[in-house]
Amino acid sequence: MALKILDSCTDCDMCEPECPNLAISYSKKGTVINPDLCTECVGYYDQPTCISVCPIDCIITDPERVESPEFLLKKFETLVLQDKI
């Protein structure tokens, strides 16, 4: 599953530098996660680092983007092969 940042985010800049996939960025809407790049840190870490560093717990699993661990690993492998991260 890709992750999602809730509107309660304060744009504190804790999560963006932690993302190994460069999936987190800033927009006029605030801090966002690109679901096409988010692998929930599969291929890098045991747990999503953005969730672990978020001081207000505003990063959740996106209910509209349910992805299995196998799919996340495949996405990671595809991103690495395409050198997108």
What's residue 2's pLDDT? 87
Q: List the domains of the chain with CATH numbers.
A: 3-81 (3.30.70.20)
Asked whether 3 and 62 are in contact (CB, 8 A), the reply is yes
Q: What integer is the mean pLDDT of 48-58?
A: 97
Cα 78 to Cα 10: distance, rounded to the nearest angstrom: 32
Is the Cβ–Cβ distance between 49 and 20 less than 8 Å?
yes
In the predicted structure, residue 85 carries a pLDDT above the cut 60: no
Q: What is the pLDDT of residues 39-49, one digit of tens each?
A: 999 999 999 99
Q: What is the mean pLDDT of residues 52-80?
A: 94
> What are the φ and ψ backbone dihedral angles of 32, each rounded to 5 degrees?
-135, 160
Alpha-carbon distance of 83 to 51, in angstroms, equals: 24
pLDDT in tens, 5-41: 999 999 999 999 999 999 999 988 899 999 999 999 9
Rounded distance between C-alpha atoms, residue 76 and residue 68, angstroms: 12
